[in-house]
Chain A
Amino acid sequence: DAKTTQPPSMDCAEGRAANLPCNHSTISGNEYVYWYRQIHSQGPQYIIHGLKNNETNEMASLIITEDRKSSTLILPHATLRDTAVYYCIVRGGANSGYALNFGKGTSLLVTP
């Protein structure tokens, strides 16, 4: 299963775009990239996922490089409520029931 690398922490000013990077250089051709976040000790919240095309939904945009070795999650107008730990995950294969391999994530602090 592919591993991901994220910076441990980032800051962002309220109202600005938050760009969270992720490296997944060992990703294979049919593995999806998922992004989740966790606010305080709540259950992880799904944000977005993609295979090779850029994706956008009401929460965020996901930019995946052409070689698929890295991606960036973009929160276009960060608010204080976006302060959370963000996890970039390459989903496991069939032998793990396609479980999500959580690492330590990036702790994003949105400041006033």
Chain B
Amino acid sequence: NAGVTQTPKFRILKIGQSMTLQCTQDMNHNYMYWYRQDPGMGLKLIYYSVGAGITDKGEVPNGYNVSRSTTEDFPLRLELAAPSQTSVYFCASSYNSNQPQHFGDGTRLSIL
């Protein structure tokens, strides 16, 4: 009963490095989302996907890229890490637009 799985749980990057945050779900959900949460704030949407092969920008997409080659996986790519991208990143999924979103446990990313 895995649900939404995110890896890694923690990561420290140097400025300018790149990395991919992994997200996979085993619920056959069509919709997937990436959010970021800065300290003391609510979540903000980075990118979303309504199905394999389809992605679109959310509220704060700059500095990030995504792909959705399968229903299960929705990786988030940081190409040139910047201190402003220090945050907690959450991946979520839902079966359709009316069903609740289920969240992973997050990836805590620090960029120094």
By a beta-carbon cutoff of 8 Å, the part of chain A in contact with chain B is 32, 34, 41-46, 49, 87, 91, 94, 96-100, 102-105
Q: Is the CB of B45 within 8 A of A103?
A: no
| A40 → B minimal CB distance (Å) | 11
Q: Is the CB of B101 within 8 A of A43?
A: no
B43 contacts A by Cβ under 8 Å: yes
Encode contact with A along B65-108: 1 for CB under 8 Å, 0 otherwise: 00000000000000000000000101010100110111111101
Q: Is the CB of B97 within 8 A of A94?
A: yes
Interface of B is mostly: strand
Would you give 12 A-B contacts (Cβ < 8 Å), ordered by A?
A43-B103, A43-B105, A46-B100, A87-B42, A91-B97, A96-B59, A97-B48, A97-B58, A102-B37, A102-B42, A102-B44, A103-B42
With A96-B58, A102-B43, A103-B42 known as contacts, the answer to whether A46 contacts B31 (CB < 8 A) is no
Q: Which residues from B are CB-within-8-Å of A99?
A: 33, 45, 48, 58
How many residues in B have their beta carbons less than 8 Å from beta carbons of A?
Answer: 31
Chain B nearest CB from A94 CB (Å) reads: 7
**How many angstroms from the CA of A112 to the CA of B1 in the assembled complex?**
33
CA distance A49 to B50 in the complex (A): 21
- With a cutoff of 8 Å between Cβ atoms, the chain B residues found around residue A96 in the complex are 45, 48, 58-59
**Is B26 an interface residue, CB under 8 A from the partner?**
no
Beyond A96-B58, A102-B43, whether A34 also contacts B100 by CB under 8 A is: yes
